[in-house]
Amino acid sequence: MSYSPDAIASITLSSITLPLNTPISDAKVFTGRQRPMTEVVFLFAEIRTEQGHEGVGFSYSKRAGGPAQYAHAKEVAGAAIGEDPNDIEKLYTKLLWAGASVGRSGVATQALAAIDIALYDLKAKRADLPLSKLLGSHRDSVRTYNTSGGFLNASLDEVKEAASASIEAGIGGIKIKVGLPDNAEDLRRVSAIREHIGDVPLMVDANQQWDRTTALRLGRRLEDLDLVWIEEPLDAYDAEGHAALAHALDTPIATGEMLASVAEHERLIDAHACDIIQPDAPRVGGITQFLRLLTLADRAGLDLAPHFAMEIHLHLAACYPREPWVEHFDWLDPLFNERLETRDGRMLVPERPGLGFTVSEQARAWTTDAVTVTHD
């Protein structure tokens, strides 16, 4: 059978507001930089082709940026209409240059991420393969750890209860937030959780709110607790500070979730700023960009623990040569009809084609804006 070119017929963009059950606080709330988070805004892209193939992808924003991502995607999506959906690299470049005057990172490329991810979903579905298999995977399951039970708005007892429930559910690690105004309270919480979970892998996340001195002092106090990593001890753009800390401590340093392009990550990698890199596919502009980043990270000998959006990152982490971690967040569950399975500390890569998710009726009900783009 010879190849017959297909063409993108339409792209439906939707802005969907997901409410959170409890307002969420990390260290950025305690330093007064942000308010507790009450919702996450998603940009969904659903692509249909002339031959009847379909793909769905999403991007997201927290606290601000949702309307901007949606508006930018709406402006540039027309450039993809009529193009062969298989030529993802070409399409990414075309969409990028359609909006390049506002920059090639941040909101502009996060708007493209939803379309780029939908193109990968479509391509894998057309091949009748899970996305990880289309890309070429190293494993059928990935170590997973829970974050959602360890926020700073939760009391120590609540964090303990959530950790027990996660371990019971087959999740392999527990991450808790640190960065409270009282450093002693941070140490007390981390020690108590270490004691509570025994030798289950434990990570901490300061969400960029320590200065260099505090990070070094607390990092030293935490060395005995055998942490898998200390996450975002410093400002996300302080590559030199992270590098000095990574050099000074035995505990691995993880960072990268806040960076908004491959170029920003490249600086982190070049500075030897971390042991574990934490890119986020929607934030760096989609899977095309994320895959470029994985090549750089592997060459630099880094471990991988992608940030958030396990529905996408599970497939991408499965393709990384070194044994990665994927972050378990059940927040997005209501948006989809399918659920991911965890067993023996690992998340199982779904065998369904593509990403393996269909958009739920609940997500449709939470849609605040939608448009179908059919021409340039």
99 or 256: whose CB is closer to Mg ion? 256
- Using DSSP, state whether 265 is helix, strand or coil: helix
Segment contacting Mg ion by CB under 5 A, of 47-55, 112-120, 124-132, 198-206? 198-206
For Mg ion, the nearest residue by Cβ is: 205
Cα–Cα distance for residue pair 125/128, rounded to 1 Å: 5
280 or 311: whose CB is closer to Mg ion? 280
Q: Which residues contact 241 (CB under 8 A, 6 or more apart)?
A: 212, 215, 234, 235
Query: In angstroms, what is the minimal distance from the CB of 276 to Mg ion?
Result: 11
Q: How many CA atoms lie within 13 A of 357 on its CB side?
A: 28
Query: In angstroms, what is the minimal distance from the CB of 46 to Mg ion?
Result: 29
Q: Which residues pair with 15 in a beta bridge?
A: 43, 369
Segment contacting Mg ion by CB under 5 A, of 133-141, 201-209, 212-220, 246-254? 201-209
Q: Which residues pair with 45 in a beta bridge?
A: 13, 57
Torsion of CA 39, 332, 357, 163, to 10 degrees: 170
- Which member of 28, 72, 265, 307 is catalytic? 307
Encoded tokens for 25: 């606080």
Cα–Cα distance for residue pair 195/22, rounded to 1 Å: 26
Q: Catalytic residue at 315?
A: no
Segment contacting Mg ion by CB under 5 A, of 67-75, 185-193, 200-208, 346-354? 200-208
**DSSP 8-state assignment for residue 171:** B
Q: Which residues pair with 60 in a beta bridge?
A: 42
Cα–Cα distance for residue pair 171/148, rounded to 1 Å: 12
Residue 350 contacts residue 338 (beta carbons within 8 Å): yes
What separation in angstroms does the CA of 160 have from each of 151, 192, 193, 308? 11, 8, 6, 21
- Of these, 46, 121, 186, 205, which contacts Mg ion (CB under 5 A)? 205
Segment contacting Mg ion by CB under 5 A, of 49-57, 70-78, 104-112, 205-213? 205-213
Query: In angstroms, what is the minimal distance from the CB of 89 to Mg ion?
Result: 30
Query: In angstroms, what is the minimal distance from the CB of 282 to Mg ion?
Result: 15
Q: Catalytic residue at 177?
A: yes
Residue with structure tokens 């926020």?
Answer: 151
- Using DSSP, state whether 159 is helix, strand or coil: helix
Q: Establish if 327 lies at the interface with Mg ion (CB under 5 A).
A: no
46 or 205: whose CB is closer to Mg ion? 205
Query: In angstroms, what is the minimal distance from the CB of 165 to Mg ion?
Result: 20
Query: In angstroms, what is the minimal distance from the CB of 76 to Mg ion?
Result: 29
83 or 280: whose CB is closer to Mg ion? 280
205 or 311: whose CB is closer to Mg ion? 205
- Which member of 177, 242, 265, 315 is catalytic? 177
Q: What are the catalytic residues?
A: 177, 307
Q: Site residues (CB under 5 A) for Mg ion?
A: 205
